[in-house]
Amino acid sequence: MSAQDDRIKSLKYEHPEFIPVGVGILPAAWMKYREELDALVAQHPILFGEQNQDRNYDAVGGTYVAGDHVDVWGCVWSNVHEGNEAIVTGHPLPTRESVRQLQAPTEDAGFPHGFMYLRLGDLRGFEEVMVDFAEEPPELQQLIDTVLQYNLRQAELRLAEMDDEPTIIYFGDDLGMQHALPVSPEKWRQYLKPCFRQIYAPFHQAGHYIYMHTDGHILEIIPDLVDCGVKIVNPQIRANGLDGLEEVCKGKVCINLDLDRQLFPFCTPADIDDHVHEAVDRLGSPEGGLWLNAEINDDIPMENVAAIFKAVEKYRSHFSN
C-alpha cells in the first residue's frame, strides 16, 4: 500500500497499514548540516525515498532568500536569515481610508500560506487589524470581502485544473497564537468561518478532502473547521496540548500532528522517543485518524534529528498487525 493510500484510509478511518508520517527539512538545516544530514536522510528511505541525486545544500527560493520581497498584494516580506521564512514588515493598508480604496490583485497567485486570516494582518499590520476586530468598522468587512472574493476566484481556477478523482487539497493559514485565538471564537465565527466555508465548499462538493494546516492555539474552532469541510487538521501539539486535542479531535477529525518543534532543540533523544510514543498512544487508533509530522530546522542538534527520524519510523507501525 502506498503512503498516499494510507493517508486516505487514515482520514476515512479505514484501518491504514501504517500511521502516515512526514518529515520536512527546512533549507536552513540543509545549509548548516549539509553532507552529514544527507547521509542520515539516505539511511531512511521509508521516510524520504531513495536518494539518487546530488543535492545543492545552499539552494533556496522565494521568501527563503535573504532580502526583501513584494507579493501580489503589495506586502513586503523581509528575510534576515537565509534558509528560514521571511516575515511581513511592509503593510500596504496602514489606514482605514486605504482599505476603502483596496482592489484585489489581477494576478492569480493561488493559495499561499496565510491566504485568508493572515492576509488581513499582512495588509493592515497586526495591531491595526486587531483594533479593527475590536471596533468592527465597516472597513473590516470590506477588507475581508475583498480577500475572500480573490480566494474564491483562486478556488474556481484550481478546481478547473483538477481531475475528478478525489484527492487531498492542502491549505495553510495560521489561525492561533501560542495560548489563545487572536480574536474571540464568537468573532471568528462571525467574520472568518463564512470565508473558509465558501472557499472550501467547491472542493468538498467535488469529493476532494480538505487539509488545513494552522499553527497556534485553535481548539475552540476545530469543530468549526470540520463544519467548513476540513477532513484533516494540522495543529501544533504544544499550543493545543494532548489533552485538548484528544478531547476535541480523536475519532472526530483526522489529525496530522505537528510534533513539538519547541522541544526538539533542547531535549534528549530519549525524550523524543517518549514524546512520539505518547502522542501515538493518546491520539492514534487501529482505525486511523492520525498522521505525524516533524519539521527540522537548524536549531535542532544532529543527534536529535536522528532521534526524530528513528522515532517516527518506529511508531508508524504502532497499530500494524
The cell numbers describing 139, all together, are 472597513
For residue 135, with 0-12 CB atoms within 10 Å meaning exposed, 13-18 middle and 19 or more buried, which class applies?
exposed
189: containing domain: 3-49+69-315
Is residue 41 one of the residues assigned to a domain? yes
Is residue 54 one of the residues assigned to a domain? no
* pLDDT in the model for residue 52: 86
pTM value? 0.95
Is residue 146 one of the residues assigned to a domain? yes
Q: Is 59 helix (H, G, I), strand (E, B) or coil?
A: coil
Residue 313 to residues 287, 294, 309: CA-CA distances in angstroms? 19, 11, 6
Q: How far apart are CA 75 and CA 113, in angstroms?
A: 14
Q: How far apart are CA 132 and CA 138, in angstroms?
A: 9
* pLDDT in the model for residue 101: 97
Is residue 320 one of the residues assigned to a domain? no
* pLDDT in the model for residue 3: 76
Q: How far apart are CA 116 and CA 118, in angstroms?
A: 6
* pLDDT in the model for residue 1: 57
Is residue 131 one of the residues assigned to a domain? yes
pLDDT in tens, 67-117: 999 999 999 999 999 999 999 999 999 999 999 999 999 999 999 999 999
Is residue 61 one of the residues assigned to a domain? no
Is residue 257 one of the residues assigned to a domain? yes
Is residue 186 one of the residues assigned to a domain? yes
Question: Residue 21: which of 244, 317, 320 has the closest Cα?
Answer: 317
Q: How far apart are CA 225 and CA 235, in angstroms?
A: 12
Per-block mean pLDDT, blocks of 10 residues, the chain (321 long): 86 97 98 98 96 93 96 98 96 98 97 98 98 99 99 98 95 98 98 99 97 98 98 98 98 98 98 99 97 98 99 97 69
* pLDDT in the model for residue 7: 96
Q: In the chain, how many domains are there?
A: 1
Domain with residue 15: its CATH number is 3.20.20.210
What is the DSSP-derived secondary structure letter of residue 21? E
